[in-house]
Structure 1
Amino acid sequence: MLAATRQAGRLVSCPSNSLRLRRELQSRNFSTTRHARRDASFSKKNSHSDAKRPLIRRELSRPKQKFSDVLRENLESLRSELKTTPIGQKLDSEGSFRETWKLFTNNIFNPGDKDSTQPLVAARRKDHQALRDSWFERGANGLIDRIKYAFYNHVTSARFTPSDIRNQKALADLRYPTEWYPATRTVHRTIHLHVGPTNSGKTYHALQRLEQAKTGVYAGPLRLLAHEVYTRLNAKGKECMLVTGEEKRAPNDSLTSDLTSCTVEMMPLNKDVDVAVIDEIQMIGNAERGWAWTQAVLGVKAREVHLCGETRTVPLIRELCASIGEKLVVHEYERLSPLQMADKSLQGNLKKLRKGDCIVSFSVMGIHALRKQIEQTTGRKVATVYGSLPPETRAQQARLFNDPDNDYDFLVASDAIGMGLNLSIKRVIFESSSKFDGFRQRSLAVPDIKQIAGRAGRYKSAYQANKAAEEAAAQSLAEAKGESEPGKEHITEAPAVILQSMEASAEASSVIAAPAETIESQPNLESSSQAADAGKEPSKPEDSTLGLVTTLEDFDFPVIAKAMKEEPEPIRSAGLFPPAPILERFASYFPPGTPFSYILMRLHELSQMHSRFHLCGLRDQLWIADLIEPVQGLTTTDRNILCACPASKSDKELISRLMPAFARCIEQQSGGALYDIAEMPLEVLELDMSPSRDYLRQLEQLHKAIVAYLWLSYRFAGIFSTRPLAFHVKGLVEERIETVLHQFSFTENQRRKIKAAREKSLMEDFRRELMLEDEKEESKTSAFLAQQTSVTAGGDEFAGETDLEIMDPAERLASEDVATMQEQTMGSDVAEDVPPKAGSDEQTSPTDSTDVPEIDVIRSNTSEVDEVNLAHDIATTDGSKRKE
């Protein structure tokens, strides 16, 4: 048996010490899981007949592919593609493409001596390191984007005059984002920061103030939460509008309303309101969506701004408030019920499930696979909740789970429960400690683990929670998030005048030492029964419900247990994204025919900002920009909007046809009816329903195409004019998807293959890291935040709430293998295969970082990007904004 031990931050394995893995445990958010998985792999024999050795040793026995080989392969594959771009065609017509390409590749492979002080050599080495970092963080997709940028920069930069470069750098100065909202700076605002753990009551008070206000707005991270708030306020007789990137709802068909519930990207910045509530404020530090929270905090014109989230946001929010001279009141809360880690995992045994358990999975397929297996194993019914379910279905499933007097004892849900739902969960069980982030399998971050786990041990009993859900008109909105206790208050008074000297030294310090006066007070609490009778917030009961946290499998248990003991690091910076006016002026300094993707990356490269901010990364925008590049007649604003459309490389073939078709409709200002777009795969609706993965995949693609169409219909309403028809088709597709998923059969053989595929994905990361160590080339991985927020970074989804995909790559690969095998055996299962433990890790894999609500049933990388640059322009023209 191969032994594995830890020594001073290293993992040393094999008796001969032939493998030494030197890794900082905290250098990346996925290291912890890989350590645990490696330990498990060393002590566990592989069950397959052709693999008698541990997975790690088997992987390491394969030849290692060097970065230079990877780079050479991608350069060769990109050469013909770049030659067909407008800029490549121009070079080819001049007869200089071949010479230009030769010089470009030579500079990449021979960047020069690392000790050289020559600026040109230093720039080449910096570009070479950027290519390595892109590949390490985002794999092939990141490397391809970076190669394109490097080529465009090689061709274009020689044409810039010194004056052009100075103007570009001046426009890329993003150090003072508070100046982007001059109208808001004239409003005397008070910022209330409600902080505490889950189930502590921090959202309750903020929503109480919203209900009391004449005008107000709620902004949450999910369409799911925005819809919840919209429903509750209207149930209380307070007319409220729902605004998301793909949908608008108004009470009584009115065009306006004094109250609005929206996703945070859709926060109205030009509307004066009394109270604004911005939920999950810790998302301000997100590598790709953080800009939306920064925009909302700095730009909303509300006299009272209530921010709700984690305690680790306090230093940053203090800093922001001090920089704009606004009063900050900090409210601290404690958890209403205790929470603790269980002694051990379920060891893959679904018979150990207890009433009130919630298993968290990370894909639609994984959720339904678990549901079916649990029902077969226990004989009890299982409720399912994930964001893309229609709101009515989701509410019904929640009620079934909350009601103690029926057979729905268990819940299988996505990680959307971490953002807050009205669910009475006794124990949270993680099916896996890692998830697919769009690029690779990564460990769940500590804050995400704690937020999901914190949903265990609801303050109310299951019966009370169910009654509360049924009596929405009498219940406050915040109870949907399980929060209801007052706590300490700290009042921090920032100076009335912005500290200009501190702003001037922005690049030197990330902390504003604003003078402050702090007052602590503990409000008196009413008794629990009196508060409940009065319809007010109940106080903490003496007999609290204990919340438990565990995992389905043993190898995930130490990862979750370790995370539960850790405290997340404070959030040090807020996300930014350049507004549209800056982008448009910036683009004017480039010659005609310059690729828009290059302009986007160039702006990110040159951007300057205060150390309390970070630039949110681009994801699929660069790819979309290249897809629509051949379409002439589009303005910079048109291209910017199209690049923010919810589309991803996970559906490369579909989107490669669809996005240029959308762009041509905008160019021609016609042909945007749903039935006029030939690339829209509406023919799927004519097929007979069948529980096959091929049919399910076609439904998934049609759904994503409809979501993109709806999103564009709010930006170009006069062109994409058949919105009602699109909503109808979307509903039909969602019904079929749910029907097919319920009819699916999930075999043990499939689950084993899914697990193997996911482990293989983890091992690819592992091998890449070993390659970097072997080549002894330093990587920037120690600067994790900088990498995560750079233009080449990975992360959850640019500015977007990512919905669950039906199958993540591991599940899709396993499904294809099984389908082939079933064809060869005439549909029979392979009896000789030894099945793994029930409910094992093999069923999942993910793609959902912040699961979505009602609109999409299977969108992998859709996101509603309501960018800063569209917040002012687009909302006033077509009436909606961008991604979640």
Structure 2
Amino acid sequence: MRLYSHKRFRLENHENVEFEGVESKPSRQVISSILDRFYRDPKIKELAETQNITKNIFQKAFQSFRLNCCVGIDFSKNLDPGLQVIFNDIINYDQSINLIYPYFLRHAHKVFPHLERIDELKHISDLTQPHNWYPLAREIHRKIIFHAGPTNSGKTYEALKAFKKAKSGMYCGPLRLLAFEIYERVNKAGIPCDMVTGEQRLFANDPQRPAAHCTFTTEMLPVDDRRDICVIDEIQMLRDNDRGTAWTRALLGVAADEVHLCGEEAAIDLVIRLLDPIGEHVDVRKYERKGELVVIDTHGLRDLKFVEDGDCLIHFSKFLILETARKLKHEYGKESAIIFGDLPPDTKKEQISKFNDPKHPCKVLLATDAIGMGINLNIKRVIFTTLMDGSGQIFPSYFVKQIAGRAGRFASRHCKGEVMTFLDEDSRLLGRLVSEPIQQISKAGISPSFEAIELFSFHLPHCSLAQLFDIFASISSVSEDFFACSHSRLKEMALLLEHIPLSLKDRYIFCLCPIKDNGSLFLSTAYLQIVRRYSEGNAITINFIKKLLSGEMKVANDLNKLKTLVSVYDILYSYLWLSYRFEEYFPHRDLVRELQTECGHLINESIRLMILKDYSKKLIKQNNINKEVNKKEFDGETVQNEMIEQKAVKKVVGKDVKKGKARVVDFEKNFRLIVSKLKK
């Protein structure tokens, strides 16, 4: 070992620290200062980039490297002897910090093993040529027809006329309810039509004699089955951060001689660009709205006493939906239908039927944005209770237009539609949002196939599925007309199931199961028990399911219990979905479907009873106990925010208010105004 003469090392804070040879090891403070200089050196980062260490990987690898170095210094272990010599050279002989880089690089490769095989992995994760993933579609020179127009313009109607005339055809849309509606409509027209969704198969004849026509949810649309025609509904969903990949796959991959696209004009330019490389021409047919839509931007509704038959109030809080329904029932004798995203399709269907039936006493609809797509509703007037999301951001214009367009339906009792706000102060904003020009969609969502993830696993056998998702996302490449869809939900599911022994393919399928992320501990626990039982080689029987759900299959009398009951429905849905992927292990599909139907009835009954229940006394009592003033600062100004219903506001706002987000104040103010009006 070499000995070093006495030398001072100057820290960046100008403190002088002395070291007497190598026996006197450098302190953690000195090592930390050296590593800070290393991290901030732009040339080091440029060098790392040339060796496929991205900024994100560099930061994570450095944090681990720094910890490793400091722990090694503190406990005289784990620190590479060569690196210790380098540190001493930097301290005593003013050597370059670049000498640390080889040791950092070695550590980065240890922390991120994919760096060792980066060239092969980059090739696998190249998503720049998705057109080539669908050989059957590329054998056909497809005729593409784009039916573009706003809600209630008849665009889907025109596409479905062609669908019915064809000898064989497929239809796909974003909702199970929509697939079922088209399935029923086509069969009533005397054309045998099947239906395939994630958790259900319906046949016009029987499974052994499939019909030439079939409806699908978009994720279930096959790309290896050739038909004469395919209708892809709501094509603008290409832009969706979570589900956009399903519409991209349908557009590029469906094997049909004639493809009819239905959706917003905003998607036209993107669709043309996506199909141009394969030489497919797009015939664009534009439609105008059938029936007038009047935007009332001079005032708001102001009070529930002005609610009329055919009105739809758009809320973004289940609490407000139920409280509004209660007040309409108790004080004005008006019965309401309720639709929000978490409700099961069967429940939504029953609520829709009530509202659409002119003979039913239910004349008012209370809903979230769940009504935005597809479902046919006899709405006369759409009333927004707010135009901001929980973080205080104003809704994009396309979102507002889509919901507003549900007002007025051609050839119904409400041909002319109106849209307005509940509060006066939102009315001008509504007018601006509805009149804004259409913003073109610039990119389509895309995701890797399981085969690509499987190849990654072959090269990185010690990585978990969650790690594979992260690594793939970090190095994948897409062309300028695409974006990588979010993998956060898949990763969350992979982490949830990480400790359960499964094959990669089985683990991937269990992660794909579309159970809703509603934050329910019951839902996560129940799903884990199902997957664990499968991993042990045991069938998931009806008796196991009944035992799993025992005590929860009952009418709910508050929102929390309703949430649990909806989670019960989701577990039953997941069973049905999995029964089509692992039939041997999920053998009681029909019995579980009966249980699911019973659960749907319980949810409907819960909603009915919760509306009848008088909440006002309970809320006022709770308000007197929990009422407090939250002082929050916005750019130096103090805003006093008196929370009327603490839990409800927390649920709606979704996260704490941050500096500079003054819109959240408006959102909470609107929320308080609405609640106060409900209590008057």
Q: 2:677 aligned to 825, 838, 841, which one?
A: 838
Do the aligned residues in 2 keep the contact of 1:348 with 1:839 (CA within 8 Å)? no
Alpha-carbon deviation of 1:127?
5.2
Q: Is the 8 A contact 2:109 2:115 kept in 1?
A: no
Find the counterpart in structure 2 of residue 563 from structure 1: 433
- Among candidates 574, 578, 583, match of residue 453 of structure 2: 583
* Deviation sequence 1:61-109 (CA, Å, 0-9, x none): xxxxxxxxxxxxxxxxxxxxxxxxxxxxxxxxxxxxxxxxx9xx99999
> 1:676 and 1:391 mapped to 2: Cα distance?
24
Structure 1 residues 656-667: aligned runs within 5 Å:
656-667=524-535
Equivalent residue number for residue 231 of structure 2: 277
Q: Give the counterpart of 1:646 among 514, 527, 538.
A: 514
- 1:369: Cα distance to partner? 3.0
Q: How does 1:718-733 map to 2 (within 5 A)?
A: 718-733=584-599
- In the other structure, the counterpart of 1:547 is 417
Quote how far apart the aligned CAs of 1:700 are. Answer: 2.8
Of the candidates 572, 594, 600, which is equivalent to residue 734 of structure 1? 600
Quote the offset at 1:124 in angstroms: 7.9
State which of 383, 396, 400 in structure 2 corresponds to 1:445.
396
Given residue 134 of structure 2, which amino acid in structure 1 is its aligned partner?
Y
Partner of 2:145: 192
Tell me the CA shift for residue 200 of structure 1: 1.3
SS of aligned partner of 2:40 = coil
Flag the 1:767–1:405 CA change in 2: closer, same or farther, 3 A.
Answer: same
User: What is aligned with 2:331?
Assistant: 377
| CA distance in structure 2 between the aligned counterparts of 1:207 and 1:108, rounded to whole angstroms | 65
The gaps in structure 1 that reach 5 residues or longer are 1-101, 132-152, 466-544, 771-809, 815-832, 843-884
Aligned match for 1:201, one of 125, 145, 154: 154
C-alpha displacement at 1:389, in angstroms? 6.3
**Letter paired with 2:160:** L
SS in 2 for 1:838: helix
Rate the CA distance shift 1:715–1:434 in 2: closer, same or farther, 3 A: farther
Alpha carbons of structure 1 residues 346 and 610: separation in structure 2 relative to 1, 3 Å:
same
SS of the residue 1:429 aligns to = strand
- Give secondary structure in 2 for the equivalent of 1:575: strand
Aligned match of 1:761: 653
For the residues of structure 2 that align with 1:111 and 1:195, how far apart are their CA atoms? 56
**Rounded Cα–Cα distance in structure 1 between residues aligned with 2:345 and 2:314:** 19
Q: Tell me the amino acid that sits aligned with residue 437 of structure 2.
A: E
Equivalent AA in structure 2 for residue 411 of structure 1: L
What code does the residue aligned with 1:212 have?
Answer: K
Match of 2:283 in 1: 329
Per-residue deviation at 1:762? 6.2
Hey, what's the Cα distance between the residues in 2 that align with 1:695 and 1:336?
42
The residue number in structure 2 matching 1:340 is 294
User: After superposition, what is the alpha-carbon deviation per residue over 1:109-158, rounded to whole angstroms, capped at 9, x for unaligned?
Assistant: 99832745534777585458899xxxxxxxxxxxxxxxxxxxxx987655
Q: Is the 8 A contact 2:193 2:214 kept in 1?
A: yes
Alignment of 1:858-869 (within 5 A): none
CA contact (8 A) 1:665 1:719 kept: no
The number of equivalent residue pairs is: 569
Q: Work out whether residues 576 and 589 of structure 2, in 8 Å CA contact, stay in contact via their aligned partners in 1.
A: yes
Which residue identity lines up with residue 192 of structure 1 in the other structure? I
Change (3 A) 1:583 1:127: closer
* 1:50-449 aligned within 5 A: 112-113=39-40, 115-119=42-46, 126=56, 157-158=110-111, 160=113, 164-255=117-208, 256-346=210-300, 348-362=302-316, 364-385=318-339, 397-398=351-352, 400-402=354-356, 407-435=361-389, 443-449=394-400
Give structure 2 stretches of 5+ with no counterpart. Answer: 1-28, 62-105, 624-643, 663-667
Q: CA deviation at 1:768?
A: 8.5
Q: What is the aligned counterpart of 2:470 among 582, 596, 601?
A: 601
User: Structure 2: how far apart are the matches of 1:118 and 1:260?
Assistant: 54
Paired with 2:199 and 2:659, the residues of 1 have a C-alpha distance of 41
1:456 pairs with 2:326 = no
Match of 1:563, SS state, is helix
- The letter of the residue matching 1:701 is S
- Aligned pair in 2 of structure 1 residues 112, 285: CA closer, same or farther (>3 Å)? same
User: How many Å separate the matches in 2 of 1:765 and 1:154?
Assistant: 40
Offset of residue 434 of structure 1: 3.4
Q: CA 1:418–1:114 in 2, change beyond 3 Å: closer, same or farther?
A: farther
Partner residue in 1 for 2:487: 618
Distance 1:376-1:179 versus aligned 2 partners, 3 A rule: same
Point out the structure with max Rg over C-alpha.
Answer: 2
Partners of 1:189 and 1:305 within 8 A in 2: yes
Shift of 1:193: 0.4
Alpha-carbon distance, 1:306 to partner = 0.2
* CA drift at 1:684: 2.0
How far the C-alpha of 1:393 sits from its partner, in A, is: 6.5
What is the deviation of 1:243? 1.2
Letter in 2 for 1:458: R
Query: Contact 2:177–2:349 at 8 Å: present in 1 too?
Result: no
List per-residue Cα deviations over 1:459-501 (Å, max 9, x = no partner): 2341xx7xxxxxxxxxxxxxxxxxxxxxxxxxxxxxxxxxxxx
| Contact in 2 for aligned 1:627/1:659 (Cα 8 Å) | no
For the residues of structure 2 that align with 1:760 and 1:388, how far apart are their CA atoms?
A: 15
SS at match of 2:222: coil
2: CA distance between counterparts of 1:111 and 1:264? 50
Higher relative contact order at CA 8 Å, sep ≥6: structure 1 or structure 2? 1
TM-score, structure 1 as length reference: 0.59
Q: Which amino acid in the other structure matches residue 492 of structure 2? A: W
1:394–1:648 CA distance, 2 compared to 1 (3 A): closer
Offset, 1:614: 0.8
Would the alpha carbon gap of residues 654 and 691 (structure 1) be closer, same or farther in structure 2, given more than 3 Å must change?
closer
SS at match of 1:229: helix
Percentage of matched positions with identical amino acids: 32
1:481-527 CA-to-partner distances (Å, cap 9, x unmatched) read xxxxxxxxxxxxxxxxxxxxxxxxxxxxxxxxxxxxxxxxxxxxxxx
**C-alpha contact 2:379 2:407 (8 A) present in aligned 1:** yes
